[in-house]
Structures are given as structure tokens and as C-alpha cells.
Amino acid sequence: MSKPITVIEPVPANGAARTAAPETCGEPILVVQEVYKKGREAFFNAALPGPVLPVPSGEADLARCVRKSGARAVILGIQRYEGALYESFKEGGLLARFGVGVDGLDLARARDRGIVVTNTPGVLENSVAELVLWLMGCLARRIPQHQESWRRGCPSTPESGVELHGKRLGLIGFGRIARRVARAASLGLGMSVNAFGRHSLEELSAASAMDPQSWLEAQHIASYTQDIRELLPRCDFISCHLPLDSATAGFCDRQFFDHCKPGAYFINTSRAELVNEDDLLAALAAERLRAAALDVSSAEHGPGLKSPLRDDARILHTPHIGSNTAEANRRMAERALHNVRCFLAGRLDDLDCVRVSAASGAPLHRHEELVAAVPRSWPTL
């Protein structure tokens, strides 16, 4: 029979948690409810000095839970936290992200309050890369349109799809996820994969002790460039894999889409803020893009939010499910718990710490995830 757990605040009726007295008197570890549900087995069976407790994710409620419990470690999801949470810790603490992106956290404020921020790198790449492939396939074969026609009683639509084999795929950013996509698309689908990133081909190949051609072959890509304007006009499919920071916000804007090959397909599974959505809609309306698939968008932030993205039939939406698989959730939970254990044991060198720029307070991305900023003044091709 499974052991009971303690909940500091009531959970919704449809929540998975049950309320009972704690079996241990050690200091609690707080996990926001949405994250707890995803990694329930790992959290429920975690071997930690104190209980692992699901709590509300809203900032005011979460801050109250931290103050009430005296917890020093909190495991968070993708929600944005701007003030009260950081002030709720008495003397430093740990904010452990269940996932990779930390754009919802005020890293400078955390640093100033002595709060360590960690994430879970290296555990969700497979899940996100697979979603990119499925989205490409859905766009290529017009699955949403066929499904809608079938529901209306029409067995087929007049417009044919296209094969992925032999098409050119452009990867914007070439970090871990993009490299998984490159391997699968090249070896599995016969696509010609081309990548854009910040560092030169010579730097990347030298860092791997390879000559440039051998490095390209090892990454399963046909070409690599630091010039986004060179890449876009050649690609049939474009997949965005940039981290979000001050240099990449709005990266995919009017100039970006104007440089795309007419009729290209656009996929974004990274961060909504990378894309100027008005410019994306304009590119679709002008048939510069044929269709788009978005796992992240402004429309995901609440079911009642009005967004023109929702009404455009050329856009395939998924509700931020890139890493939401049973396997990735288990790995993220285990890695977040690893960070909690190391923090409570004082083994700070073993943490997956998010490094913060002393000047800007922005995260410092790992070498392979760094990307070039789009020039603000685009020359005409």
C-alpha cells in the first residue's frame, strides 16, 4: 500500500495527492502541483531527509508555503515568478527548475537573495526532437486539414502533401535538441540538414579534434553557417531551437520571414518570445510561408486568451508538450531531486547550476547552445 503524503495547501479535487500527517520530521521539499503530477512516482518515492510536498504554483500561494514551512528547496515548472517568491526565503535557498528554460525566473534577484537556480539539462532532448519530427510530418502531409475534412464528412481534400525525403531542413540554433533532430532527420528521413549557430565551423570542429568536413559528417548535417541570411532561402523546413535571452527575443521577425524560401514550413518548439507573431501571421497571409507548427505561443497562456493565432488554419498548435512524455518527466523529476539532494548536502559543485551574467543578470548558455543575434539592420538580398 502506498504511503501518505502531506500537502501544505489544499489541492484541487482532481489532484492526485492525498492529505495525511508526514512520516518524517525533516525539512520539506516543495514541488508545485503541476510538476508533482508529471513526476509523481519519482517525487512520491524520493529518498530525502524530509517529505516532498505538492503545493500551489501561483506566486503568492507558493511564497506563503515557503514561509510557513521554512523550506529551502522548491521545484518549479514554467510559471513566471517576479517578486514574492524570492523574498519568502529566509537565508538563501534553491529554485530547481523541472526543465531547461529559466526565462520565467528573475535570475538577478535570485542571485542577490543568495538563491541558487538549477535546471535539468540532458534529459528531455529525445522527447522534444521527436515532437519536431512529428510536427514536420503533420505539416508535410496536411494532417490537420485531412482530419478536419474527415470530420465534416469529406473523405479527402484536393491538395496533396509532400515527402520529407530529399527536402532541406534548416535548424536555427544547434544545441542538444537540434543535434538530435539532425541525426533523426538525416538518417531516418533522408533530409538534407543545414544548421545555423554562433561559433564558426572551424571552432566547433577544432573543439572536437576533427577537421570541418568530419565534424559535419559526425553531426549528420550538410552545412553549417553563422549567416542566417545564407541559410533561410535554401530550406524547405525551418525549425527554431534558440535559447531565449535579450539577443534572441523576436529573432524570427519580418526580416527573418522575408528571407525564407517561398512556401517554406516553420516549426517552433523552443520559446514563444523568439517569434514576432504578427510577422509570422503576415508571412503566412503573403504565402511566404506555407504553414507553421507551434508548440509554444502567446495563445498557450490561458484558454480564454484571444489570439489571432488560434483562428489561422495554416497553424498547427500543440500546448507546450515538447518535453511532456512519461520518460522525460521521470528523468526531469529525478534530475531535479538530484539537485535538491546535492544542495541540502552542501555539494554545490554537483549542481546543474544556471550561471548568471554579473553584468546583466541573464543566464550564460553552454558553449554549444550559444547563438548569434540577428542583425537589427538586414540588407536586401
Strands 237-240 and 264-268: parallel
Residues 265-307 have pLDDT tens digits of 999 999 999 999 999 999 999 999 999 999 999 877 655 556 7
d(CA 137, CA 139): 5
What does each C-alpha distance from 347 to 227, 320, 340, 352, 356 come to in angstroms?
A: 42, 33, 10, 11, 19
Strands 192-196 and 315-317: unpaired
Among the listed residues 259, 320, 330, 338, the single catalytic one is 320
Backbone phi and psi for residue 5, each to the nearest 5 degrees, phi listed first: -130, 160
From the list 87, 48, 61, the residue with the least C-alpha distance to 336 is: 48
Residue at grid coordinates 552545412: 223
Task: Report the alpha-carbon angle 269-182-319, nearest 5.
Answer: 15
Domain spans of the chain, in order of start: 29-123+325-363, 125-317
User: Distance between alpha carbon 315 and the CA centroid of its chain, in Å?
Assistant: 19
d(CA 333, CA 43): 7
d(CA 51, CA 49): 7
Per DSSP, the residues of 337-357 read: HHHHHHHHTT-GGGS-B--B-
Annotation says 271 is catalytic: yes
Annotation says 259 is catalytic: no
Per-residue pLDDT of the chain (381 residues; tens, 9 = 90+): 343 434 444 344 344 443 333 444 588 999 999 999 999 999 999 989 899 999 999 999 999 999 999 999 999 998 999 999 999 999 899 999 999 989 889 999 999 999 999 999 999 999 999 999 999 999 999 999 888 888 888 876 668 899 999 999 999 999 999 999 999 999 999 999 999 998 899 999 999 999 999 999 999 999 999 999 999 999 999 999 999 888 899 999 999 999 999 999 999 999 999 999 999 999 999 999 999 999 999 877 655 556 778 888 899 999 999 999 999 999 999 999 999 999 999 999 999 999 875 544 555 544 333 333 333 333 322
Q: Residue 304 belongs to what H/E stretch?
A: none
Q: pTM of the entire structure? A: 0.84
Do 127 and 99 form a contact (C-beta atoms < 8 A)?
no
- CB 42: neighbour CB atoms within 10 A? 19
d(CA 175, CA 54): 32
Superfamily of segment(s) 125-317: NAD(P)-binding Rossmann-like Domain (3.40.50.720)
Among the listed residues 40, 176, 277, 300, the single catalytic one is 300
From the list 199, 201, 255, the residue with the least C-alpha distance to 232 is: 255
- 125-317 matches 29-123+325-363 in CATH topology: yes
Among the listed residues 97, 168, 241, 271, the single catalytic one is 271
Superfamily of segment(s) 29-123+325-363: NAD(P)-binding Rossmann-like Domain (3.40.50.720)
- 3 state DSSP class of 219: helix
Annotation says 300 is catalytic: yes
Backbone phi and psi for residue 149, each to the nearest 5 degrees, phi listed first: -60, -40
